[in-house]
Amino acid sequence: MTGPFTYLDALYGRVAFDDEMALLIGAPILQRLRHVRLSNIDSIAMPGIANLSRYEHVLGVGFLAQQLPLLRSIPRLHGIALSAAALLHDWAITAFGHLVEEGFQYAGVNFRHEDELHAIMTGTASGANVGGAELQILSGRPTRLTEWAARVVGHDSAPELLDLIQKTIRGEGPYGALISGTMDLDNIDNVVRMAFHMGLKVDRELPIRLVGAITSVEQGRVVFATSASPDIETWVLLRREVYTNLMPAQPDFSYKTMIVAATALAIEVGDISVGDWHLTDQEYLCRLGQSQNEAVRELIGRWTAGEAWDCTPLWWLGGKRPHYSEMKQFSREISEATGRPCFAYGIKDKRERILSFLFQGGGTRHFGVEPNSWLFGVTSSKRAGFSRNELELIVGSAEARFGSSRGSRRVANATIEDQEPTLL
């Protein structure tokens, strides 16, 4: 991609990037994100976000970086690094986003895309990621990141620029809080973009106003003008509405567990490894769909055909979500107890969180509360709905196993009485 890049954004309208950022946008490192979904799966319950790509999102974050008032007053190298970090913050995300990472954890493999990014950029990555910052990332093509850095700032300054970029993405350095902080450009765009595509009522100017009200970064915290307080409150409420709709969507919960389960099984049988993190969503499905293992092929076939695993109601349980290793062991126990294959899955409560905002002049305001619950459900590949006795056994065992009191249990999307056995 040569010359300036102009496109039409769903939220911000006509957007233009200069030659330097256009070169980066056209590189394989960023083009890969056209093929990775923002919502992790192609949602059944909310088709508007089904094929929303991370490419659309990172371009939006890159645009917001351009709207920062402080961008005009910081050193050029830092400004380029900040703009590039906005575009690149998701570049090391796995296929199907966090679901594949969770599948790795179910299989006992510790993988976090933020750590992998740091290892690749600093040349400390494992042998599976040969090539460092120029590893082959898309259709056999290298990232072209170092080539871009050399063209933009020269060969001598390129290493410093790349170091600044990876530090900024990790929330470090003088401007890292703008990319990875309490309220950063990433989640400002993400919340409003998801809400818009879900069909919720949104103010499309809200992200631009919020970013325009950022006055500085002090001691690792973003500072807002006091006039931004109403817009911050609007964004916090919108965030709550987004996750209130996303989390208890039962069809999507089932499809998520299928990707996590397929990943864990594929690792166990040797179909994939952490070195395959850069596969796109479609490449990932093809790899698993051609597995030598019949169970993996069957699982991916059902996922692709829309034949969801049967799912229990989803319950809010009190306390902190257990580690995936505990969920894996619980899955084995409940499978034995019910006589059917079961896969237990849990999601941290993202509807609420404590958010602290620093305002110009030193004032601080806090929003939200610390969540004390998590969403729990069990799916099964058996083509039969869960009986009432099975449901009572599952939720009672979960409360006993994970230390959640029965009084703290709430059904997220149905009641046990409403749950009728279904056949696919």
Q: Is residue 239 a part of any domain in this protein?
A: yes
Is 76 in contact with 59 (CB distance < 8 Å)? no
Residue where one domain finishes, among candidates 208, 223, 246: 246
Q: Are residues 223 and 372 in the same domain?
A: no
Q: Is residue 194 a part of any domain in this protein?
A: yes
Closest CA to 94 of 228, 259, 280: 280
Q: Are residues 208 and 320 in the same domain?
A: no
Question: For tokens 């009485």, what's the residue?
Answer: 417
256 or 133, higher pLDDT: 256
Q: Is residue 264 a part of any domain in this protein?
A: no
Q: Is the pLDDT of residue 269 over 50?
A: yes
Q: Are residues 62 and 175 in the same domain?
A: yes
Q: Is residue 186 a part of any domain in this protein?
A: yes
The tally of domains found in the chain comes to: 2
Torsion of CA 190, 191, 193, 195, to 10 degrees: 150
Q: Is the pLDDT of residue 418 over 80?
A: no
Q: Is residue 396 a part of any domain in this protein?
A: yes
Q: Is the pLDDT of residue 115 over 90?
A: no
**What CATH number should be reported for the domain holding residue 187?**
1.10.3210.10
Q: Are residues 240 and 342 in the same domain?
A: no
Mean per-residue pLDDT, 312-326: 93
Residue 419 domain boundaries: 309-424
Residue where one domain finishes, among candidates 246, 281, 301: 246
Q: Is the pLDDT of residue 417 over 60?
A: no
Q: Is residue 137 a part of any domain in this protein?
A: no
Q: Are residues 240 and 348 in the same domain?
A: no
pLDDT band at 3 (very low <50, low <70, confident <90, very high): confident
Mean per-residue pLDDT, 270-282: 92
Q: Are residues 81 and 209 in the same domain?
A: yes
pLDDT mean across residues, the chain: 91
Mean per-residue pLDDT, 2-28: 95
Mean per-residue pLDDT, 396-414: 74
Q: Is residue 254 a part of any domain in this protein?
A: no
Q: Are residues 75 and 187 in the same domain?
A: yes
Q: Is residue 130 a part of any domain in this protein?
A: no
Spatial separation of the C-alpha atoms in residues 205 and 63, rounded to whole Å:
13
Q: Are residues 56 and 167 in the same domain?
A: yes
Spatial separation of the C-alpha atoms in residues 24 and 266, rounded to whole Å:
33
Q: Are residues 70 and 187 in the same domain?
A: yes
H-type alpha helices, 126-271: 145-153, 158-169, 185-198, 206-212, 229-246, 250-268
Q: Is the pLDDT of residue 282 over 60?
A: yes
Q: Are residues 37 and 156 in the same domain?
A: yes
Question: For tokens 């109601």, what's the residue?
Answer: 313
Residue where one domain finishes, among candidates 246, 265, 300: 246
Q: Are residues 226 and 352 in the same domain?
A: no
Spatial separation of the C-alpha atoms in residues 218 and 208, rounded to whole Å:
21
Q: Are residues 226 and 323 in the same domain?
A: no
Spatial separation of the C-alpha atoms in residues 238 and 229, rounded to whole Å:
14
